[in-house]
Structure 1
């Protein structure tokens, strides 16, 4: 039979992308059996079949050792049919243990096929080995084999979905933790972009975070808090941003509504009564697996924390201005002292720096000096 079916290398479908990496548009299935006829029949059944929109690519191993070599390659197998008796009476069972315990592959679905059920009793195998299904070769008709593959592939897909979601959630927590340790707005915004790109699995893109604030006179001030430029090339001046991107950001502020396409993701956040922010991400290629809902959750929290930092900085600036106004009032009483209060504050700042005091202490002593001078 093997002379008119398929070649052993079984690469009837091009499974690689242009950059040489494995394509995600196929399901790779491993057949481990020392009987060539079993491989031929399996290939005949699944010839040109597609499941869940992807072609099936079958790979043959005629021993457990050959199977190990394939499993250690760059190929991502979704499932495998494994014979029990090959080099030894329990070679298939040993292979299953190796896959789960040494290779640490818990996602691949494994179906045990045996022609000698007595050598591996079903009740014992199911309870002792991590397999998806157990079948004798005589019961695997074309219909049952097809059903078995559909079930295994769907199970593999669901496991990967859960695993990917868990990894994204871990990244979200790690990203949030790291950026919340930053207390400067510029550093926070930069850390936000870095972690957001990592979280979304984007290697290169154009990212902007823009904030608008309305003052008591209804004047709107706009600030570009962070930007990565065009696909990683950070512009020297924010004015170099294209008119098209500026227009999209302005329209989002007006419409107060975001948009997600194959070219870009843009979202609007109302962070306070008088302020709002827009996040813009432009893709170099259509994103694969980009989760806009995850980006929304992450970005909403980032925008709120960013707003809190801005308010904190504004409060500190107001306090500092008040101190200097108070110092100016003191100086006005004496022409001889001139800018004595400001000079004293600067000297305290320089002395604290020379003494290598903590940055927080240096800023505090500079701010507090005018107040201490007023009490004097």
Structure 2
């Protein structure tokens, strides 16, 4: 296997915990709801040793409808309920069946109604009016018929669970494709794929079967793989190496698939590598407790091939988004350099705006958008003449009028795009010189009529400018700059935002200094490379 960058190959895997193959699967829960003790004893005796798909039964008992409701509330994963009709009331069992579906919202448990008095609850009427899955008279319920009814119920429950897992997988995939600017979109997509795969093969993660199919996804890193997403036992294994989770034979199967760019099946494992046009490779890995049928092997390969196409599109969109972000920061730095504002101003205010937004209680996605839009807040200055923009002394009345045009000019430039980042940037460009008391420009907005993004931009932009050297002034001390913010609290600035920043001033100052240090390190490295 050749070396790759961390962002290179991605591996999907459905995986058992190491050594779990020898363990039994988690038992199916069967709830007996009947007010006769003998019924519980006989049922347990008849079904002793019962197994379905390698898992035994775990018996739960309730002796009234109320106890049955409580048992289901505490055990929503009950697979089958054997329910008596006549208990504390002639229709207690029927009432419980309705409560299970309507109040508890449990549509998956299979309800087998058992009655010793069929006349109290005629079968045709009960089947029509209640959401039950089988109806048995106790007098006709032989051991064989009970075995058949429970097996049928478990099979139906298993299929419903598979459908539910499939739905969950689709929700993860939709969530990933709906917001490709999120840094974890790839991880969400990977988890969705793993959930879909376990559903496709009628497998469930370890929360259902102890030691059965769980999943992980990883990136190729030298001769190992870094896990980026997981299900079941691996839901919290992100960033670990796959070699810490998989055994030597499984790792060798993955490496063989990657090296040969092919699919390989063993008796209980599968690894398939699929190349994409970007040069990245995807590997799907499964470790199971049973051998896949030829039909299932076919399904795995078809599904994996479709996933490759979907992942390629996802990665392409993320590359476009990253390029978009870089262009925004570059344009912001062009404006900054023309205004001789000093290096990294736009990056400092972008990061400080994100931090202030988080401390102010904005949702994380809004803070991310604010960080992307902030670098363009002064883009209107590209249209301001150098004689005004670069003047070392104070501006006269005419020059100030020219300078005060830059918010509107910036808005006009950015508002032409329908992109949500550009729209946010346009709003900030237009309003970032407005003041809380209405004394700002260009419109004279006041208070909360100024967008929260613009109010945040005003605070961090002024703070960083005060602390930075300009052609018309020296850098202020930290004490003087913070005192100015306090003085302008409720006048130029939103008072709540000023209080928030001052309460966390050490964090903001450390962030700013860290960005300055990074800039200096880059400059030093650049000079050292020159001959």
Q: Is the 8 A contact 2:168 2:192 kept in 1?
A: no
Query: d(CA) in 2 for partners of 1:158 and 1:35?
Result: 32
Bigger mean CA deviation after superposition, 87-96 or 51-60: 51-60
Query: d(CA) in 2 for partners of 1:250 and 1:345?
Result: 54
Name 2:261's counterpart in structure 1.
256
Query: d(CA) in 2 for partners of 1:304 and 1:149?
Result: 45
Matched, 1:304 2:313: yes
> What secondary structure is seen at the aligned counterpart in 2 of 1:71?
helix
Q: Which residue of 194, 197, 201 corresponds with 1:200?
A: 194
Matched, 1:99 2:100: yes
Q: Do the aligned partners of residues 362 and 280 (structure 1) sit closer, same or farther apart at CA in structure 2, a change above 3 Å counting?
A: same
Query: How does 1:24-173 map onto structure 2 within 5 Å?
Result: 24-74=25-75, 76-173=77-174
Query: d(CA) in 2 for partners of 1:156 and 1:308?
Result: 39
Q: Do the aligned partners of residues 58 and 365 (structure 1) sit closer, same or farther apart at CA in structure 2, a change above 3 Å counting?
A: same
Could you tell me how far 1:117 is from its partner in structure 2?
1.4
Provide the alpha-carbon RMSD of the alignment.
5.1
> What secondary structure is seen at the aligned counterpart in 2 of 1:85?
coil
- How many residues end up aligned between the 2 structures? 300
Deviations 1:325-355 (A, max 9, x none): xxxxxxxxxxxxxxx9996487699787799
Deviations 1:51-109 (A, max 9, x none): 23221233222211221222122462111111111101111111111111111111111
Q: Do the aligned partners of residues 263 and 345 (structure 1) sit closer, same or farther apart at CA in structure 2, a change above 3 Å counting?
A: farther
> What secondary structure is seen at the aligned counterpart in 2 of 1:30?
strand
> What secondary structure is seen at the aligned counterpart in 1 of 2:139?
helix
> What secondary structure is seen at the aligned counterpart in 2 of 1:276?
coil
Matched, 1:270 2:303: no
Q: Is the 8 A contact 1:193 1:207 kept in 2?
A: no
Query: d(CA) in 1 for partners of 2:253 and 2:339?
Result: 46
Could you tell me how far 1:269 is from its partner in structure 2?
2.4
Q: Is the 8 A contact 1:260 1:292 kept in 2?
A: no
Q: Do the aligned partners of residues 276 and 86 (structure 1) sit closer, same or farther apart at CA in structure 2, a change above 3 Å counting?
A: same
Instruction: Between the two structures, name the one with larger relative contact order (CA 8 Å, sep ≥ 6).
Output: 2
Deviations 1:133-153 (A, max 9, x none): 111111112222222122211
Query: How does 1:232-243 map onto structure 2 within 5 Å?
Result: 232-233=238-239
Q: Is the 8 A contact 1:39 1:60 kept in 2?
A: yes
Name 2:480's counterpart in structure 1.
none
The 4+ residue runs of structure 1 with deviation greater than 6 A are 201-204, 244-251, 260-264, 285-288, 311-318, 348-358, 363-366
Q: What is the TM-score with the length of structure 1 in the denominator?
A: 0.60
Q: Is the 8 A contact 1:122 1:134 kept in 2?
A: yes
Deviations 1:122-165 (A, max 9, x none): 22111111000111111112222222122211111111111111
Query: d(CA) in 2 for partners of 1:77 and 1:341?
Result: 64
Q: Is the 8 A contact 1:109 1:155 kept in 2?
A: yes
Q: Where is the strand percentage greater, Structure 1 or Structure 2?
A: 1
Query: d(CA) in 1 for partners of 2:192 and 2:378?
Result: 39
Q: Is the 8 A contact 2:79 2:110 kept in 1?
A: yes
> What secondary structure is seen at the aligned counterpart in 2 of 1:89?
coil
Could you tell me how far 1:45 is from its partner in structure 2?
1.8
Q: Do the aligned partners of residues 253 and 111 (structure 1) sit closer, same or farther apart at CA in structure 2, a change above 3 Å counting?
A: closer
Query: d(CA) in 1 for partners of 2:173 and 2:52?
Result: 32
Q: Is the 8 A contact 1:266 1:278 kept in 2?
A: no
Q: What is the TM-score with the length of structure 2 in the denominator?
A: 0.45
Q: Do the aligned partners of residues 307 and 276 (structure 1) sit closer, same or farther apart at CA in structure 2, a change above 3 Å counting?
A: farther
Query: d(CA) in 2 for partners of 1:353 and 1:72?
Result: 52
Q: Do the aligned partners of residues 122 and 265 (structure 1) sit closer, same or farther apart at CA in structure 2, a change above 3 Å counting?
A: same
Q: Do the aligned partners of residues 59 and 342 (structure 1) sit closer, same or farther apart at CA in structure 2, a change above 3 Å counting?
A: closer
Deviations 1:291-330 (A, max 9, x none): 9666664454223332455478789999x99x9xxxxxxx
Query: d(CA) in 2 for partners of 1:341 and 1:75?
Result: 60
> What secondary structure is seen at the aligned counterpart in 1 of 2:41?
helix
